[in-house]
Amino acid sequence: MSETFLKETLEMLADNGKTPADVLWVGSADGEYAIGWEAFEKIADFEYWPHSNTTGIDVPADLIIVGEDWWLERHEYDCSEWWEYKTLPTKGMAPGSFDTIDMRTVRQSTETLKELCLAKREQDLYLGQRIRHKEKGFEATVNIVTSVYFVCQDDYGAPHNIRKTDAELVEAPEDESDK
């Protein structure tokens, strides 16, 4: 089913609470080419098939529509095309630092900075600490913290993988010099 490229674009703007009056410019993602909305409107009023089974892209892949703090960009997958609405990221009121994480510890491309920071905080909290297995009662020192286990060594040097849900932190004994 065909539709006009202009209609698809106007619908995407409307879906995101925008109108052509909100558009600052239309052009290439690198900013090397740009026109105003009125000029774009004239060249975008053509029929096209955004979900066709033909090969190739029907409109330029680097085409963007830019507003004050947002933009539309083209995406394509498996011979389908669409606009994606993007907004400028905003920094939180008191953003946390992530300058102590090791970027090489990312296990999946979907892992977020927040997940890495929480894992680092947990690593810093438990590394070298004594934990007790809740059911079996033995204690061990944490050597590695994974997303599920504490990798530990007991007092006899035996290695253990203790599920985090099965472990509790052992309180450090009071130092006699504190009394």
Edge-to-edge order in the sheet of strand 80-87? 34-35, 25-28, 63-66, 70-77, 80-87
- Domain span at residue 163 reads 103-178
Q: For 64-77, what is the mean pLDDT?
A: 93
The answer to whether residues 167 and 108 belong to one domain is yes
What is the total count of domains within the chain? 2
Residue 175 pLDDT more than 70?
no
In the prediction, which pLDDT does 111 show? 73
**For residues 15-30, average pLDDT:** 97
pLDDT at 172: 65
CA distances 94 to 115, 125, 153, Å, are 17, 22, 38
In terms of average pLDDT, the best of 28-42, 53-67, 123-137 is 28-42
Q: At what angle do helices 5-15 and 37-44 cross, to 10 degrees?
A: 130
Asked if residue 97 is part of any domain, the answer here is: no
- Whole-angstrom Cα distance, residue 102 to residue 116? 8
Q: Quick check: is 98 in a domain?
A: no
